């Protein structure tokens, strides 16, 4: 007997973070390593047991119970002191938890959100907080985190070890921070949610361009952030607007064969109208603070694309102004690259290539295939097919998803045949 694919996907993709968060809330953040180990072992047991015995009525509860028992067995084997063991038994049996700190804001039911704020705790080294969030709460592997943060795998792995070591000190509570602590931690939580969305919106590897489960999980987490009055800030609304306005395009971004459809060629009637409407509503709610953030700028750019009935009607001058503002608010090599695209649209390919100058020397873009793809497009528009082909071949040497690779190969073949550049 084989397991239904939807059961496997639900547990391994959608529920892993919730299982980790729920068990961590009972055993404490100091045992995060143990929690991750036992949840993974419980999921492995499910794969072994369920094909023979059948899927239980509540698969998530089954996995949680097995993981909880594995954790308690491991703690006993480590000869935890009787007092601590008794306390763990009491907590996992569902006894009343100690009263919260009087300064703690309104508590929420979702343990995953608590775990997000826990990973952003000041006790965790600053450079390890975001990797810890992405690994523990969002379920991303070390390679995916390294790609998202433009770092080496070994660097991310080392940061995760240091982060978990800090949590094992025992003085970090599994609770939302105080009102005074929330703003500093919120910014990191929003970054993590957006990186999860990005990994789902444009998978960095694999056969699929879109990982729908990650897009939906990012939206779920952000909805939880917005439920808490203290964290429902204009910046948080801007992020929700950005993700909805981008995610609305997903139905049109891949064709029936799984091939990538560039923005210029997408059938906009297939865009999710409900997500667009909700995205514009959150965008309106984001325009209320006195601080402009990167999410405000990016949401504004996404709103311009969403408002255009046709690609040819896109207000690229407005987009360029937003990228100019974004470059001031949050400068980065990727922002410069995206801005160069807008420059090329407004002022022509020659100006676009000038805007790209120097980016090839930035180590952060060494493995970023879009730099080569954008460079190729601009050379192609200027009629220099040879230079375009060289840039496309360079892009094909970089990691990307299978649909992206197929598109690059198709464009290289067209370029080698001397065809004109496609719309982009």
CA–CA gap between residue 162 and residue 82 (Å, rounded): 29
78 and 58 Cβ atoms separated by less than 8 Å: no
Tokens 């509540």 sit at which residue?
A: 58
What φ, ψ does residue 169 adopt, rounded to 5°? -65, -20
Residue 254's DSSP bridge partners are 260
Q: What is the pLDDT of residues 94-143, one digit of tens each?
A: 544 334 333 333 333 357 777 778 788 888 888 888 888 788 776 677 88
**Confidence at residue 103, expressed as pLDDT on a 0 to 100 scale:** 35
Mean pLDDT taken over the chain: 83
**Confidence at residue 239, expressed as pLDDT on a 0 to 100 scale:** 97
CA–CA gap between residue 11 and residue 61 (Å, rounded): 11
CA–CA gap between residue 260 and residue 209 (Å, rounded): 7
251 and 270 Cβ atoms separated by less than 8 Å: yes
Percent of the chain with pLDDT over 70: 84
129 and 143 Cβ atoms separated by less than 8 Å: no
Structure tokens at 395: 């892009």
CA–CA gap between residue 220 and residue 277 (Å, rounded): 17
Beta-carbon contacts of residue 107 (< 8 Å; ≥ 6 apart): 100, 175, 176
pLDDT reading at 291 higher than 50: yes
Structure tokens at 164: 């978990």
The length of the chain in residues reads 424
Show the CA angle centred on residue 312, arms to residues 307 and 318, nearest 5°.
55
CA–CA gap between residue 269 and residue 110 (Å, rounded): 36
**Confidence at residue 397, expressed as pLDDT on a 0 to 100 scale:** 95
CA–CA gap between residue 233 and residue 189 (Å, rounded): 13
Residue 260's DSSP bridge partners are 254
Tokens 């343990």 sit at which residue?
A: 111
Q: How far apart are the first and last CA of the chain?
A: 47
* 318 against 186, higher pLDDT: 318
CA distances (Å), 261 to each of 198, 268, 312, 347, in order? 17, 11, 16, 25
CA–CA gap between residue 198 and residue 140 (Å, rounded): 12
Q: Per-residue confidence at 217, pLDDT binned at 50, 70, 90? A: confident
Q: Is 254 helix (H, G, I), strand (E, B) or coil?
A: strand
Q: Per-residue confidence at 373, pLDDT binned at 50, 70, 90? A: very high
Q: Quick one: which of 254, 250, 253, 227 has its CA closest to 240?
A: 227
- How many other CB atoms are found less than 10 A from the CB of residue 173? 15
Q: What stretches of 202-330 show up as alpha helix (H) in DSSP?
A: 212-227, 234-247, 273-286, 294-307, 316-329
Q: Per-residue confidence at 380, pLDDT binned at 50, 70, 90? A: very high
Give me the mean pLDDT over the 380-405 stretch.
95
Structure tokens at 14: 């959608």
CA–CA gap between residue 345 and residue 324 (Å, rounded): 14
């Amino acid at each position: 007997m084989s397991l239904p694919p939807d059961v496997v996907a639900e547990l391994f993709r959608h529920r892993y973070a919730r299982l980790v968060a729920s068990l961590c809330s009972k055993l404490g953040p100091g045992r995060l390593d143990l929690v991750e180990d036992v949840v993974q072992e419980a999921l492995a047991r499910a794969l072994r047991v369920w094909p023979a015995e059948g899927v239980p009525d509540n698969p998530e509860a089954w996995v949680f119970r097995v993981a909880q028992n594995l954790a308690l067995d491991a703690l006993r084997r480590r000869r935890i002191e009787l007092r601590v063991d008794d306390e763990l038994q009491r907590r996992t049996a569902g006894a009343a938890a100690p009263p919260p700190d009087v300064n703690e804001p309104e508590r929420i039911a979702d343990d995953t959100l608590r775990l997000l704020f826990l990973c952003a705790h000041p006790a965790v080294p600053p450079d390890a907080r975001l990797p810890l969030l992405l690994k523990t709460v969002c379920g991303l592997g070390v390679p995916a985190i390294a790609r998202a943060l433009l770092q080496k795998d070994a660097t991310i792995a080392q940061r995760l070890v240091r982060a978990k070591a800090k949590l094992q000190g025992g003085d970090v509570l599994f609770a939302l921070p105080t009102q005074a602590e929330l703003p500093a931690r919120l910014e990191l939580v929003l970054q993590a949610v957006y990186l999860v969305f990005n990994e789902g919106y444009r998978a960095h590897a694999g056969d699929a361009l879109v990982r729908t489960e990650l897009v939906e999980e990012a939206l779920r987490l952000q909805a939880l952030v917005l439920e808490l009055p203290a964290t429902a800030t204009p910046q948080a609304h801007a992020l929700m607007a950005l993700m909805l306005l981008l995610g609305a395009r997903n139905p049109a971004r891949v064709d029936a064969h799984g091939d990538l459809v560039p923005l210029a060629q997408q059938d906009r009637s297939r865009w999710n109208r409900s997500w667009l409407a909700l995205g514009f509503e959150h965008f309106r709610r984001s325009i209320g603070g006195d601080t402009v953030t990167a999410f405000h700028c990016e949401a504004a750019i996404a709103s311009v694309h969403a408002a255009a009935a046709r690609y040819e009607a896109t207000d690229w001058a407005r987009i360029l102004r937003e990228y100019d503002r974004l470059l001031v608010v949050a400068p980065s090599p990727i922002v410069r690259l995206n801005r160069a695209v807008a420059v090329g649209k407004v002022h022509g390919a020659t100006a676009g290539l000038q805007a790209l100058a120097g980016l090839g020397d930035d180590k952060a873009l060494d493995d970023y295939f879009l730099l080569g793809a954008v460079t190729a497009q601009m050379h192609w528009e200027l009629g220099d097919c040879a230079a375009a082909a060289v840039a496309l071949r360079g892009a094909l040497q970089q990691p990307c998803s299978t649909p992206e690779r197929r598109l690059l190969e198709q464009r290289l073949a067209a370029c080698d045949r001397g065809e004109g550049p496609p719309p982009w």
